Amino acid sequence: MLQGQAQIVSIAEACLGGLRGRSALLIGPEEVLQPYKKLLVDAGMKIVFQEKDYSRVANLLPHVQLLMNLPARESSARPLTAATIAMGCTGRRSPLLIFDLAATTSVEELAGLLPAVCLYTPADLGQILYPPTNAQIA
């Protein structure tokens, strides 16, 4: 799994033009997100915020360029809403890159339509990390 995590961080680095000096918000259980945090810090991120739930997301979004969401598997929480993301993006000048790392959608897909947001859904990440082979396409 570490290879997939490294690939996701590499995608973030490419999308943002580098990670050095930037900030991220990781949402989910600490033990699951720890490998991502280590990779981001090693890549030179200035600050990596970590939250277990969505209660402070709108307040933290103005300070980050990258959001990674991976809620607990047993969590029956609603998805991170586009409205919450929009509140946190008010007045935003730089893009916000969001990776929905859950097995199924945990970030409302409407968030990807916000002008300052680039959302990678679980389906997007699956296509990037595990592209279909020619045999699967035929």
pLDDT tens string 21-67: 999 999 999 999 999 999 999 999 999 999 999 999 999 999 999 99
Poorest-pLDDT segment among 35-39, 97-101, 129-133: 129-133
pLDDT at 72: 81
CATH numbers and ranges of domains, the chain: 2-137 (3.40.50.720)
Are 108 and 71 in contact by the 8 Å Cβ rule? The answer is no
**Are the CB atoms for 8 and 99 separated by under 8 Å?**
yes
Which of 97, 90, 87, 40 shows the shortest CA–CA distance to 64? 97
For the entire predicted model, the pTM comes to 0.90
Q: Is the pLDDT of residue 13 over 70?
A: yes
Residue for token digits 């990596």? Answer: 48
Which residue matches tokens 């592209």?
Answer: 131
Report yes or no: 32 and 125 within 8 Å, Cβ to Cβ.
Answer: no
pLDDT at 44: 96
pLDDT at 93: 85
